[in-house]
């Protein structure tokens, strides 16, 4: 008998090799879904104060009184008292007017790993904080001017800074230097959840 394999067996073995390798090769991985970066998400919130509008009306009244004194020709006193009265009323009116209109409302925006706070229609004063400088964010159920010594943009050496335009809930950020930044804003709890998610994404990157 001959030891040579028959042609049929050889072709069968030769054909089985490629088919076996194809069977053992892994299937192509399914396409991965591209997840948009968390930094593309934006959270915005704001808060307003009716009290500031009332104080602004007082400023308008002082300003109008100064103008009325300036054009009143029946002023019984001398020129110097009249000038002092006009300047005093106008100065007080402008200070009260611009000081209150700057804090009629506040806007908070979290975008691209940055938190920005803008006050009033002109957007000043303005504060920008990078989330990499934030250690922790928490929700304050009640923030009052008594906690910070008044309305507006406040600073206390033992606590930090705050933007307080009304009583109510607020957002509190603990910064890397240990100080706090507080801002009164509506739906502050949602802002806290958003910032915490961004902080987690930044630390995991």
Q: Which residue has the higher pLDDT, 183 or 152?
A: 183
| Same domain (yes/no): 97, 139 | no
Q: Strand pairing partners for 137?
A: 173
Mean pLDDT across 70-81? 77
Backbone φ and ψ of 35, nearest 5°: -90, 125
| Same domain (yes/no): 164, 186 | yes
- Residue 12: is its pLDDT beyond 70? no
Mean pLDDT for all residues in the chain:
79
Give the per-residue pLDDT at 196: 94
| Same domain (yes/no): 153, 69 | no
Backbone φ and ψ of 47, nearest 5°: -150, 150
- Residue 21: is its pLDDT beyond 50? no
Of 62, 83, 101, the residue that ends a domain is 101
Tens of pLDDT, residues 160-200: 999 998 899 999 999 998 899 999 999 999 999 999 999 99
Max mean pLDDT range (7-21, 32-46, 160-174): 160-174
Domain ranges, residue 118: 105-204
Give the per-residue pLDDT at 4: 52
Tens of pLDDT, residues 80-112: 888 888 888 888 888 877 777 777 889 999 998
- Residue 18: is its pLDDT beyond 90? no
Confirm if 176 and 135 have CB atoms less than 8 A apart.
yes
Q: How many angstroms separate the Cα of 180 from the Cα of each of 120, 142, 191?
A: 22, 15, 16
Residue 19 in any domain: the answer is: no
CA distance 179 to 149: 17
Residue 37 in any domain: the answer is: no
- Residue 30: is its pLDDT beyond 50? no
CA distance 112 to 72: 56
3 pLDDT band, cuts 50/70/90, is low
């Amino acid at each position: 008998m001959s030891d040579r394999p028959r042609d049929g067996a050889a072709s069968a073995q030769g054909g089985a090799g490629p088919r076996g390798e194809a069977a053992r090769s892994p299937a192509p991985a399914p396409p991965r879904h591209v997840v948009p970066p968390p930094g593309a998400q934006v959270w915005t919130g704001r808060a307003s104060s009716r009290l500031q509008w009332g104080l602004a009306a007082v400023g308008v009244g002082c300003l109008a009184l100064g103008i009325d004194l300036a054009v009143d020709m029946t002023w019984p006193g001398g020129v110097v008292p009249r000038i002092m009265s006009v300047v005093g009323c106008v100065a007080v009116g402008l200070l009260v007017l611009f000081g209150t209109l700057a804090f009629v409302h506040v806007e908070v925006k979290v975008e691209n790993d940055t938190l920005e706070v803008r006050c009033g229609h002109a957007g000043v004063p303005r504060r920008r904080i990078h989330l990499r400088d934030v250690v922790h964010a928490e929700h304050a159920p009640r923030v009052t001017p008594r906690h910070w010594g008044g309305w507006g943009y406040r600073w206390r050496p033992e606590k930090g800074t705050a933007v307080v335009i009304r009583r109510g809930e607020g957002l509190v950020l603990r910064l890397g230097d240990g100080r706090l930044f507080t801002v009164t804003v509506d739906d502050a709890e949602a802002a806290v959840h958003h910032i915490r998610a961004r902080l987690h994404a930044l630390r995991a990157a």
